[in-house]
Structure formats: C-alpha cells, structure tokens
Chains A and B, each alone.
Chain A
C-alpha cells in the first residue's frame, strides 16, 4: 500500500463514518471484559437491531478509555457522552436515548480533571478506535509516518528526528532512544533485529497491556520505523503469556498489516522488508531484563548475562539488536507525524513528552492515565486520581514496582521526571503507580516486594539469589516482631551489598523498596523491633 492508497482508505473510512449519525463505543479491554463488556456489547447490538434508531447507529468494540474504576464504559460519539458502570440491562435505555435526552443515571462527567488534565500521545487512539480493524487505525492517521519515512526520509534523518525529540526509554531506565538507535545503526553486521519488550512483569502495572490491546498497530508501526532506521529486517514482540488478549490482537494486527503490504516484503512498494513475530513469555519477571529476554526468545532459560557487550552490538543470536519498550515504540509514529519540535515542546528540560501510568491502590479513580512529564505527584493523585477514598490519609506512593521505591507526602509537589524520582530513591519505572493510605504498613510493603524478588531471582548470580532470601528472612523476623536492632543493621548492609554486586537490574534494584521505606519510614521498622530495639 502506497501513501496515496493509504490516504484513500482513510478518506473512505471517514466518509463511511459520516453516514452514521451515532457510534456506540464499548470498551473491550481486559478490565471491562472482566466486567462483562462483551455481554454488554451483544445486548447493545441486539437492541440496535430491534429499534428503528438502530439504522442510524453503529456499535463498536474499542480499546481502553482509561477509567477502569467505573467500567464497563460506553461512549456515544460524536455526541461526546460517556456512560459508566453500564450493565447489559441498560442497553434499551441507551439505544432509545440516541436521538433524545442522554440517560442521566449512567452519565459520567467528561469535564472532570481525570479527563481534562491528561495529555494523550501514546493513548490518543485508545478508546477511540476498534483495535481489531486496520481501517480504524488508518483513518486515525496510522501508518502515514511509516510510509513517509520510507519514501521521504533516509534512515539517518529518522534517527535525527527521534534524537531531536528527546524521547527516552519508557521501560523505566530512561536511556535516550535516538542514541540507542544510532548505536544499532552503526553496528557492523548484515543481520540485525528489532525487539519490542512487552514483558510487563511489574505487579501493579498494566500500561503496556493496554496499549497492545487498544492500539496494536501503533506498536507495529513504531517497530517498523525503528527497523528502517537501524537497518533491521526482522523483529520480535515479546509478550507475557498472562496477556492473552494482547497476544491475540497483536497477531491479528500483524496478519492485517501484512495483507495490506504494511509489513512483510516491499513495504509501501519500497525495497524495505520487515517481518515481525510474536513470542510468548512464560511467567518470569527477570525476562523484562534485556539480555534475559533475548535468551528467552532464543528458547532458553531467561537468565541475564553481563554487559557489555550491549545488545546494540551483540544481541539476539549475537547480532546487533535494538530493544525498546512497548510505550517507547508507541511514541514513535506520532513523533514522526507531528515533528520532533512539537514533541520536545511537551514535558521538562530533560524528560520530554508524556508518560503513561497505571494509577491503582488506595485512590478514587483507578485506571490508566497519560500525563505530561513534569506534572506533580499531587496533581496526579488528588486531581486526576480524585484523592484517597473513605476519608483516609495519604501515606506514600510507590513507583517502579519491585525496582522502585515509596515516596512520602513531603515530596508530593515534586515534578514527575526521570531525575526527580531517582533523587528521592525511587525510579520512573515502567509506570506502575500504587497509592497507599495509612492502613498500609511500610514494613509489610517492603517484605512483599522482597518476597517477590526472592521468588523471581533467576538464581544465576549469588548476591541476588542468596541476598534476596536473606533480606526476606530478616524482614519476616522484623515484621513478626522478632527482629533486633542488629538485624536492622544487617539488613542495611545486605541492601548495599546486593545493590552493588548483582549481575542484572533485578538484583541491583531489589533493595530499593527496603532502602526507600527505611529512609522515610524508619520509625515503622523500629516500632516493630523486639523490646523496642533496645535488646
């Protein structure tokens, strides 16, 4: 498909849509499906078929609009109505109301800060397109960036554009994306690979799942652009097996794109070829680490290896390999379409663009949000999140999962960017943001994460394998009120040792939840020591 043909498809789709006065969008993300969104969609379809107004409306399954707490969500477009916690029984009322007054009891205010304070780039199509239809993505401007890059830009120009945009890796570490691409592009070798890391293992994070489910073509387009830029012809998307819907939609999207000449051989009539395969993870947190992930794609146990050499020089099957996170790739098409300067205009001096967070825990509006870098934690939790429910008091917010830390109240007005979060002992991480109130004990939270790291340690290097088990045992003793002041000291020493001597990121960051809770909530540890710590 060439750029001209692409525009024709988009035009046709938009015209077809204008023939239909109302579109009823039902969220069919994992969360809303669990809340029986599929039954709701069937009920709406049935009702629309029975009702005379039915000819004027189309019922569509879409991706996640974000406000999971109030699912299943139904949006009426272009009227701009949003209905919350809709049940299949509500279908007649919704269809009946299409040319009349909205159903007041189901309405969800779209002017609330949860919606108005967000800036959507990665999630711009989530909830607005049917992820199972290629035409929907094309009508939203999809694949234009890829075909433009292939026909009007050299690989070097694509890398320049990404570099100028200031995009940094969204997997958590924040490595400059343009620099990574350039390293792979420069690496010698005929065979190169592009790998998309969709092994979202952090408990409490579901950003990548949602992007892959709600807008799979965006990820594929980003990967294809990256492949063109670095000179790769093969790619893999590594997805957790726990995300069956994401796997299904990605595979479907690959077939569709290949059928339309947007993936595979001679993309857009050019000489560029790019083939993508989905590979399933099998439940190992360590596989989110890039060298472990590559071992897993090769069909081996997912154990990391020392770096250097970095994957950019020697990765999959020892070939130069570009590995980026789902969200990083998802930013790429929009950057090329709207320009690096536009993207660089969002965010802070060092952290550009937006970040997607999975806002969960003790907060009113749980769900998926995308905010500009530099927003404060307070704005996220109190404005977008609607504050702490049940009149409880905020205690800490956890970012970065088992590799991150707990941030206490005094830093709520700190801007969210890579450096600020690191300066208070946490990390940006992939985007899990778990709010805790005064009912959560910080010792138990630290113990929870250490238990996680202990069982997820791959066992290859000693500091992580033995250290996490020892730290967990100490935390158990302290939590049970059997720890002494000496145990606390040993815990700190161990944290330091594991942090500095482990082979990979898992071990190096495993002490973070303990260190950050010790730093801000040391009194909670001390209060649980044997005889108040005096023994």
Chain B
C-alpha cells in the first residue's frame, strides 16, 4: 500500500536540487524500497552522499537511519566523499588486468601521489578503480571525466587530465 509521510519532512538545505530527490521519492510513493533509487538521485545530483542527506532520506521514507547508512556504505557505487574536479578511472576487469591495467593503476598512483579511491590534496583529481566497465574489447580501458579511452597508457591519461585542466 502507498504510504505518505505523516508529517512534512524538510530537506537539509534550501538548495533547489533537493526537488529532484523529492521527485524520485514521490514517484515511488515514499515506499521504503525507493531507498536505493533515491540515493542514486542524490549522488547524481550532488556528486556524493553526506550525513544530513541520508538523515533526510531516512525520515522521508520512514526507514531507520542505520539501514540507510548501511545501504549507502554497502554498495561500491555510492561514495560519501566529495569527488575531485576531475575523475580518472581505471578498469580493473579481467580482460583489462590481463592486458596490464594493474601496472597502469600503479603508474597513475605514483604520478598523482595518491592511492586508488583517493583525491589529490588540491581536490583536482580523484583516482578510482572500477570492476569492469564492459568495454573489454578496448582493454586496457580508462575513463577520464566520463570519456572512455581505449587501449590507454598512463601517459595518455595524465595528458588528458592536463588538457582538461588547461
């Protein structure tokens, strides 16, 4: 049965983007099973999940905060850290691994001075590892700011990041 929230729950801030999040929850009639879809909308809209946002969703969907936090941290796709200005992603799927993506990642870690999953101190670049983007025919594949780079080298990826900054 569709369940409406009993009292008005207000978003964490005046930011108009919360309307997008509200729209997702409304589409699912504020049912608890809308949780994952709602978190997707927040991450898509704001780039990451934070505590006030999770608390808001918990109240709006009437789901315990512990469960919301549990879901947000269980799934790899969700991040609770603000992403860097640019994202640099290396596919570590099997086909890419066989073609040397492990070394590619190591080289990028050295060059950027951070580990996979971290963001440089100046907040410019986030380095991420991903399990197979399904472009195995292009192995090893990297993604810089959403653009897939086929049969890529560390130099090419760093160059692309540099061009993006310029």
A30 contacts which chain B residues (CB < 8 A)?
A: 133-135, 148
A152 to B31, CA, bound (A): 38
A200 to B67, CA, bound (A): 25
B148 contacts which chain A residues (CB < 8 A)?
A: 30, 33-34
Per-position 1/0 for A195-236, Cβ under 8 A of B: 000001111111001000000000000000000000000000
Query: Any chain A CB within 8 A of the CB of B2?
Result: no
Q: Which residue of A lies closest to B143 (CB)?
A: A34
Query: Any chain B CB within 8 A of the CB of A106?
Result: no
Query: Any chain B CB within 8 A of the CB of A92?
Result: no
Selected interface stretch from A129-137, A143-151, A186-194, A296-304: A296-304
Is B134's CB under 8 angstroms from A242's CB? Answer: yes
**With contacts A301-B71, A302-B74 known, is A34 near B98, CB below 8 A?**
no
Query: Any chain A CB within 8 A of the CB of B34?
Result: yes
Is B76's CB under 8 angstroms from A360's CB? Answer: no
A297 to B135, CA, bound (A): 26
CB distance from B62 to the nearest CB of A (A): 12
Is B135's CB under 8 angstroms from A282's CB? Answer: no
Query: Any chain B CB within 8 A of the CB of A83?
Result: no
Query: Any chain A CB within 8 A of the CB of B47?
Result: no
Among A71, A241, A398, which residue has the most Cβ atoms of chain B within 10 A?
A: A241
A297 contacts which chain B residues (CB < 8 A)?
A: 33
CB distance from A407 to the nearest CB of B (A): 14
**With contacts A35-B138, A301-B70 known, is A285 near B75, CB below 8 A?**
no
Is B150's CB under 8 angstroms from A241's CB? Answer: no
Is B141's CB under 8 angstroms from A209's CB? Answer: no
Selected interface stretch from B6-14, B15-23, B87-95, B157-165: B87-95
Q: Could you write out 26 A-B pairs with CB less than 8 Å apart?
A: A34-B148, A34-B149, A34-B150, A35-B138, A68-B137, A200-B134, A202-B94, A203-B131, A206-B134, A206-B136, A242-B77, A242-B133, A281-B77, A282-B77, A285-B131, A298-B32, A300-B71, A301-B67, A301-B74, A360-B95, A362-B99, A366-B139, A432-B94, A436-B98, A449-B94, A458-B74
A68 contacts which chain B residues (CB < 8 A)?
A: 135-138
B137 contacts which chain A residues (CB < 8 A)?
A: 31, 68-69, 71, 360, 366-367
Q: Which residue of A lies closest to B91 (CB)?
A: A203
Query: Any chain A CB within 8 A of the CB of B104?
Result: no
Is A299's CB under 8 angstroms from B131's CB? Answer: no
Q: Which residue of A lies closest to B93 (CB)?
A: A203
**With contacts A241-B40, A282-B78, A299-B33 known, is A34 near B94, CB below 8 A?**
no
Per-position 1/0 for A270-281, Cβ under 8 A of B: 000000000111
Among B36, B76, B78, B102, which residue has the most Cβ atoms of chain A within 10 A?
A: B36
How many residues of A are in contact with the other chain, CB < 8 A? Answer: 51
Is B40's CB under 8 angstroms from A204's CB? Answer: no
Query: Any chain A CB within 8 A of the CB of B127?
Result: no
Query: Any chain A CB within 8 A of the CB of B97?
Result: yes
A360 to B148, CA, bound (A): 18
B154 contacts which chain A residues (CB < 8 A)?
A: none
Name A's B-contacting residues (CB within 8 A).
Answer: 30-31, 33-35, 68-69, 71, 200-206, 209, 241-243, 279-285, 296-302, 358, 360-362, 366-367, 398, 401, 432, 434, 436, 440, 445, 448-449, 452, 456, 458
Is A204's CB under 8 angstroms from B93's CB? Answer: yes
| Additional 8 contacts, C-beta under 8 A, given A34-B138, A280-B40, A448-B97 | A30-B133, A30-B148, A34-B149, A242-B134, A243-B134, A299-B34, A302-B75, A361-B139
CB distance from A286 to the nearest CB of B (A): 9
Is A362's CB under 8 angstroms from B131's CB? Answer: no
**With contacts A204-B132, A280-B36, A366-B137 known, is A434 near B71, CB below 8 A?**
no
A280 contacts which chain B residues (CB < 8 A)?
A: 36-37, 40
CB distance from B131 to the nearest CB of A (A): 5
Is B131's CB under 8 angstroms from A34's CB? Answer: no
Is A360's CB under 8 angstroms from B77's CB? Answer: no
A242 to B94, CA, bound (A): 16
CB distance from A456 to the nearest CB of B (A): 8
A265 to B92, CA, bound (A): 44
A335 to B82, CA, bound (A): 49
A358 contacts which chain B residues (CB < 8 A)?
A: 136
Is A361's CB under 8 angstroms from B99's CB? Answer: yes
Q: Which residue of B lies closest to A33 (CB)?
A: B148
Query: Any chain A CB within 8 A of the CB of B39?
Result: yes
Q: Which residue of A lies closest to B131 (CB)?
A: A203
**With contacts A68-B138, A360-B139, A366-B136 known, is A434 near B36, CB below 8 A?**
no
A343 to B8, CA, bound (A): 57
A298 contacts which chain B residues (CB < 8 A)?
A: 32-33
A301 contacts which chain B residues (CB < 8 A)?
A: 67, 70-71, 74-75
B150 contacts which chain A residues (CB < 8 A)?
A: 34-35
Give B28-50 interface residues, CB cut-off 8 Å to A. 31-37, 39-40
A296 contacts which chain B residues (CB < 8 A)?
A: 36
Q: Which residue of B lies closest to A70 (CB)?
A: B137
Give B116-137 interface residues, CB cut-off 8 Å to A. 130-137
A506 to B21, CA, bound (A): 34
Is A361's CB under 8 angstroms from B95's CB? Answer: yes
B63 contacts which chain A residues (CB < 8 A)?
A: 299
Is B98's CB under 8 angstroms from A434's CB? Answer: yes
**With contacts A35-B150, A204-B136, A361-B95 known, is A282 near B36, CB below 8 A?**
yes
B135 contacts which chain A residues (CB < 8 A)?
A: 30-31, 34, 68, 206
Is A203's CB under 8 angstroms from B35's CB? Answer: no
A361 contacts which chain B residues (CB < 8 A)?
A: 94-95, 98-99, 139
**With contacts A282-B75, A282-B78 known, is A434 near B94, CB below 8 A?**
yes
CB distance from A458 to the nearest CB of B (A): 8
B95 contacts which chain A residues (CB < 8 A)?
A: 203-204, 360-361, 366, 434
CB distance from B46 to the nearest CB of A (A): 16
B132 contacts which chain A residues (CB < 8 A)?
A: 201-206, 242
